Structure 1
Amino acid sequence: MHYLMGVRIDESELPYSDEEMEASFARVGAVNDEMKAAGVWVFGGGLRPSDSATVVRVENGRTAMTDGPFAETKEQLGGFYVIEVDDLDAALAWSEKVAEACRVPIEVRPFDGIA
């Protein structure tokens, strides 16, 4: 089964110092390597800040595009992983490692099918 692990960040706490970023990259890189070695890694990546987002809406046949994040909230999606594991317990075990490495909350959601 495929799971999304969303990395939730508070953009008001950014940017990190160079030392904090180096330490974070090392921790996250180690977990990424562990997931790849275990064969659960499908895809992952960081996202640019939410102010780089564009929201596209279509209503009554008209398209509207607005700058900024979809939701106006302090926490934003800062990155994500897609993993393939046997069950939710396995996904939660990996999310615990990611949360420890990233030092931010991780939202875990199962996919409702893969196209």
Structure 2
Amino acid sequence: MTKFLISFPSGAMTFPAEELHAVSEASHAVIREAKEAGVYVFGGGIDEDVDPVLVGGDGTVTPGTYPQTGQLKGGFCVLELPSRDAAMEWAAKIATSCRCAQEVREFMYDPES
């Protein structure tokens, strides 16, 4: 089985404020479905109130992130699935519940993970 990162930037979620409860309920339902299916690894939202830092090999901490990275904000989940097609199906469910498109990335195989 392959692990897939399914994610979206926080700015992609655009809907009226009064629909927040419905969107939250719908997205939590999809995550519960993934857990029940045994494909959920982990997920969550990036805490945008906490600034990122870079930690060097010598332990030096520098505020910010890699310049080419820009901003990493929003939500994500990692699912372990049998195929890329299955990842696309789950991404579609998440996109529907969150009301925004999802980016799908595949983790390289690593026998240690």
Q: TM-score range by the shorter chain?
A: 0.7 to 0.9
Alignment partner, residue 46 of structure 1? 45
Quote the RMSD (CA, aligned, Å): 2.9
Percent of counterpart pairs with the same letter? 33
TM-score, normalised with respect to structure 2: 0.76
Q: For residues 70-89 of structure 1, what are the structure 2 equivalents within 5 Å?
A: 71-72=69-70, 76-89=72-85
Gaps of 5+ in 1: none
TM-score, normalised with respect to structure 1: 0.75
In 2, distance between residues paired with 1:69 and 1:46? Answer: 20
Task: Rate the CA distance shift 1:109–1:102 in 2: closer, same or farther, 3 A.
Answer: same
Is the CA contact 2:54–2:66 (under 8 Å) kept in the aligned structure 1?
A: no
Alignment partner, residue 108 of structure 1? 104
Is the CA contact 2:6–2:91 (under 8 Å) kept in the aligned structure 1?
A: yes
The aligned length equals 109
> Cα distance, 1:68 vs. partner?
7.3
Is the CA contact 2:54–2:64 (under 8 Å) kept in the aligned structure 1?
A: no
In 1, distance between residues paired with 2:52 and 2:16? Answer: 25
> Cα distance, 1:34 vs. partner?
1.2
Alignment partner, residue 10 of structure 2? 9
Alignment partner, residue 53 of structure 2? 55
Counterpart residue type for residue 78 of structure 2 = V
Does the residue aligned with 2:103 lie in a helix, a strand or coil?
strand
Give 1 or 2: higher strand fraction: 1
